[in-house]
């Protein structure tokens, strides 16, 4: 118990004193994950809408693939992205390896199935009369998309929160693609892994506390907006 108490005391000391290395990992995580989620929503929301709204050949198979990718291991994504962006890979000239931009690409691939699947499920649960009403009123395709997403806004917010939680908590992509480089690509999760392995439990606990607080903040925001709506 004394060991844990000392670890938590040192962790809070690091946080309140503004330990530079700790906060660099925090800011890197927020920057990378926020960009990944923003791009994933821009791409994933229309795809989720199309997957649920339209009927086309192979729809069931595509939906099955998307749902399966919800459990895609992060190390597999990291391995695939690494293979493509390494110097010997087809995208090696883009210089994404060991850069935050490379981590963003990996996280987009990791979380976009979450956005697509949860958005599609939310739209499928809407009243079937919404579609016919919008068409009868002569709504344009863009208007139909925006109106449908608005009506399923709770599902969209849930998709965004779930995807963000998966992005900030992943390790495989950030470690393999980012390289866990100090002051450059080190994120909260990779820092926790490294510092705990070195026996630096205080920094690991401090970053773990921050990670929990971010997760709680995202979920509290979701609950707040639901109540306001």
Query: Could you state, in order of their start, the residue ranges of all structural domains in the chain?
Result: 20-228
d(CA 210, CA 202): 12
Q: Note the pLDDT tens digit of each residue in 56-89.
A: 899 999 999 999 999 889 999 999 999 999 988 8
- The region that residue 95 occupies, defined by phi over 0 for left and psi between -120 and 50 for alpha, beta otherwise, is left
Give the closest residue to 83 by CA, choosing from 108, 102, 107. 102
Structure confidence at residue 105 as a pLDDT band (50, 70, 90): very high
CATH fold for the domain made of 20-228:
MetI-like fold (1.10.3720)
pTM: 0.91
Average pLDDT over residues 14-30: 89
Closest CA to 146 of 157, 137, 134, 136: 134
CA torsion sign for 125, 127, 131, 132 is positive
172 near 188, Cβ under 8 Å?
no
């Amino acid at each position: 118990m004394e060991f844990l108490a000392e670890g938590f005391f040192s962790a809070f000391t690091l946080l309140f004193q503004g330990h530079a290395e700790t906060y660099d990992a925090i800011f890197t995580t927020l920057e990378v994950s926020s960009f990944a989620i923003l791009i994933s929503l821009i791409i994933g929301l229309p795809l989720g809408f199309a997957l649920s709204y339209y009927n086309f050949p192979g729809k069931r198979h595509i939906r099955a693939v998307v749902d399966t990718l919800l459990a895609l291991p992060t190390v597999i994504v990291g391995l695939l992205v690494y293979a493509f962006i390494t110097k010997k890979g087809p995208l090696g000239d883009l210089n994404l390896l060991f850069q935050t931009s490379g981590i963003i690409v990996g996280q987009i691939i990791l979380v976009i199935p979450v956005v697509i699947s949860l958005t599609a499920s939310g739209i499928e649960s809407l009243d079937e009369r919404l579609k016919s009403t919008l068409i009868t009123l002569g709504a344009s395709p863009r208007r139909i998309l925006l109106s449908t997403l608005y009506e399923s806004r709770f599902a969209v917010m849930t998709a965004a929160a779930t995807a963000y939680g998966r992005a900030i908590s992943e390790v495989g992509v950030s470690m393999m693609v980012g390289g866990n480089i100090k002051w450059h690509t080190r994120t909260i999760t990779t820092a926790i892994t490294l510092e705990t392995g070195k026996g630096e439990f205080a920094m690991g606990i401090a970053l773990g506390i921050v990670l929990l607080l971010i997760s709680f903040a995202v979920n509290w925001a979701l609950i707040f907006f639901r109540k306001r709506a």
